[in-house]
Amino acid sequence: MLSKKIENAINKQINAELWSAYLYLSMSAYFESTNLGGCANWMRVQAHEELTHAMKFYHHVIDRRGRVTVAAITAPSINWKSPLHVFEEAFKHEQKVTGLIADLANMAAAEKDHATASMLKWFIDEQVEEELSTDVIVQKLKMIGSNTGGLYMLDRELAERKAK
């Protein structure tokens, strides 16, 4: 059984993961409005991943005989200055999520909740991938600069991303 402290913390993380999905959907809509369908696709796939993450936490709480409680999700931003700005914000967001996961892992260790610690190992590894994938795109956009041909090529590349 989960302690109330861990249960409450995971419920907050479920909310954070759902907010992440909202953020990425908002970013996708922004890209659609700028005719960058590949970037929009990448963000939609990312939103789907965040929903999957929320459900992993959801099922962990349920499997441990806890109670999932859902909270309101605040609206994310809807406007950005450029494709680079969007992906920089996505990278910063993934760094923040990495910190949230680390906090949960530290709490699970302090509470001697080995089952939660085991579940969080997947998320710790996943966050390495999440940060890397967004940072790679940030670095490519910095290389591209104002080259619209380069942006077109990157957009075509990002259109190929499929949900896991």
Mean pLDDT of the region 10-26:
98
Tokens encoding 118: 């085991």
| pTM (two decimals) | 0.95
Q: What's the pLDDT score for residue 57?
A: 98
- Give the whole-angstrom CA distance, residue 88 versus residue 98: 15
Q: What's the pLDDT score for residue 41?
A: 98
Tell me the pLDDT tens digit for each residue of 21-30. 999 999 999 9
Per CATH, domain 4-158 is 3.10.129.10: no
Q: What's the pLDDT score for residue 71?
A: 95
For residue 163, what are the contacts with CB-CB under 8 A and spacing of at least 6? 45, 48, 49
Q: What's the pLDDT score for residue 72?
A: 96
- Give the whole-angstrom CA distance, residue 101 versus residue 140: 27
Q: What's the pLDDT score for residue 15?
A: 98
- Give the whole-angstrom CA distance, residue 60 versus residue 7: 10
Q: What's the pLDDT score for residue 1?
A: 85
Mean pLDDT of the region 131-159:
97
